[in-house]
Amino acid sequence: MLNSGRAAARTTLRRSRWRRGDTVVSALILAAMTVGVGFFVWGFAMGWFGVSLSDLTNSLNRSVLQVKTSAQLSFELLNYTANGRNAILRNIAEVPVTLTRVEIVNPEGRVMAYYPSAGYANITKVLPGKNATLGEAEIPLCGLCVGGDKLRMRVWFVASALYNEANPLTSVDEMKYVETIFVYPGLPPGSACAVPAGSKWLMVDVVDPVTYTDSGKIPPSPNDKLFIRTPAASQLESVSANVIVVNASGAVGGVSGTILTISNTIQELRGSIGNFQVPLNITVTVSGYEVIQRYWYLGGLPNEAHASGVQLWWSVDTATNKRMLDVVQVELGVNDLRGGNFSITLSLYDCNNNLLYRKTNQIRIPPGIFTDTVFFEVSPRVNMEDLFRVAVEVSRA
């Protein structure tokens, strides 16, 4: 029995030692797998980091090149005349740049002519500190431009390292431009409605009859007034002004008074137009003067909405010394108990009744509002010397 017990003990001891050996081997295998997985993850991460670092480096390089070329091309000379066209541009950037496109742009931002016809190309490469000369081959003629027009020459460029010669369109996002102003050669065309030489002339840029906002009626006397403004004339003096007013029924009335031919303030005229209701046809006359903006039509829907006054906003073009119409402001009177959606149409005509401009604006006026303003941006601008008739129509939208 004793011997049997010792044998059993030895057997148990051996089995225990075998179990401890299995545990060590398992731990070594697990450690090896962990290290292997770690090396795999580390390798993957380093690969991803390398790709990301490469992308980041490329992006930073492009950004640095864009910063270094920002507004770093300048015009040294521009000659655009009937006898020839050339320009000299200097690269004051730290990196080479490539000129890709030349444009002729009007004051409204419209591209009137451009080179090359394909859109963009490698016109020439300019090294830092060097200049490039563009001639008639690169600077386009403008078939749509008129003598005296104030234009801009715009030259597009890009850092040469960012320019894709095979496909220039892929480089457009990195391109920048510089521009300079010039006057298109030739004399500006004469006005189709020019006042005869030696005649006295006068401009009107505000017509504003007093009306009730809800009905569009002119109040009875003594409040049946009409205001005008005369900002420019051939000479300054006091004159007699007479304004004829015709209402929707065909009734004819008028207002009159003594005014200054040149004044930046509105001037009051009185007469016999009480209870006249829109639409109104208005004709401005001044003794001894040719009134350029003489015909005005203020339309409206009686008891709903109407044009209660009009103002012309203009400026002097320094290149041509012409007064050019930029914006027309229309004041509306509205029946505040009704409101509604309205279409406001502005039409401008010359002395031969040719249409110079027409546009319709939509407006929503909620109940409770009795007046509003609508602005019309006139583009292309209209020469005030050509503007003889202003018409505003109001209708339900």
- Domain ranges in the chain are 73-183, 201-396
Q: How far is CA 267 from CA 213, 218, 311, 318, in A?
A: 21, 17, 14, 29
Residue pLDDT, tens place only, 78-128: 999 888 899 999 999 889 999 999 999 998 889 999 999 889 999 999 999
Residue pLDDT, tens place only, 300-328: 999 999 999 999 999 998 767 889 999 99
Question: Looking at residue 190, what DSSP letter applies?
Answer: P
Q: Is the Cβ–Cβ distance between 28 and 21 less than 8 Å?
A: no
Would the CA dihedral through 136, 137, 140, 146 be positive or negative?
A: positive
**DSSP calls for 301-318:** ETTTEEEEEEEEEEEEET
Q: How far is CA 349 from CA 273, 294, 326, 381, in A?
A: 26, 11, 15, 13
Residue pLDDT, tens place only, 224-240: 999 999 999 999 999 99
Give me the pLDDT at residue 24, please: 52
Q: Is the Cβ–Cβ distance between 71 and 93 less than 8 Å?
A: no
Question: Looking at residue 172, what DSSP letter applies?
Answer: G
Model's pTM, two decimal places?
A: 0.59
Query: Which of 14-28, 183-197, 344-358 is predicted most confidently?
Result: 344-358
| Residues in contact with 52: Cβ distance below 8 Å, sequence separation at least 6, in sequence order | none
Mean pLDDT lowest for which of 61-65, 277-281, 365-369? 61-65
Q: What residues form DSSP beta bridges with 255?
A: 243, 271
Q: Is the Cβ–Cβ distance between 107 and 75 less than 8 Å?
A: no
Neighbouring C-beta atoms of residue 369, cutoff 10 Å? 14
* Alpha helix positions (H), the chain: 2-68
**Beta strand pairing status for 206-209 and 225-229?**
antiparallel
Length of the chain: 397
Mean pLDDT lowest for which of 62-71, 172-181, 231-240, 371-380? 62-71
Tokens 């563009």 identify what position? 134
**40 falls in which pLDDT band (50, 70, 90)?**
low
**Backbone phi, then psi, for 33, in 5-degree steps?**
-65, -40
Question: Looking at residue 338, what DSSP letter applies?
Answer: T
Give me the pLDDT at residue 197, please: 81
Rounded to 5 degrees, what angle do the CA atoms 88, 320, 106 make?
55
Give me the pLDDT at residue 30, please: 62
Asked if residue 32 has pLDDT above 80, the reply is no
Give me the pLDDT at residue 37, please: 55
Q: List the 73-81 sheet strands across, edge first.
A: 73-81, 84-91, 131-134
CATH architecture of 73-183: Sandwich (2.60)
Residue pLDDT, tens place only, 141-152: 887 787 778 899
Q: What percent of the chain has pLDDT over 70?
A: 80
Q: How far is CA 132 from CA 135, 136, 155, in A?
A: 10, 14, 12
Give me the pLDDT at residue 320, please: 75
**42 falls in which pLDDT band (50, 70, 90)?**
low
Of 276, 310, 315, which is closest to residue 391 (Cα–Cα)?
310
Give me the pLDDT at residue 57, please: 44
Asked if residue 269 has pLDDT above 80, the reply is yes
Average pLDDT, the chain: 85
Q: Is the Cβ–Cβ distance between 256 and 240 less than 8 Å?
A: yes
Asked if residue 17 has pLDDT above 70, the reply is no
Q: Is the Cβ–Cβ distance between 210 and 224 less than 8 Å?
A: yes
- H or E stretch including 229? strand 225-229
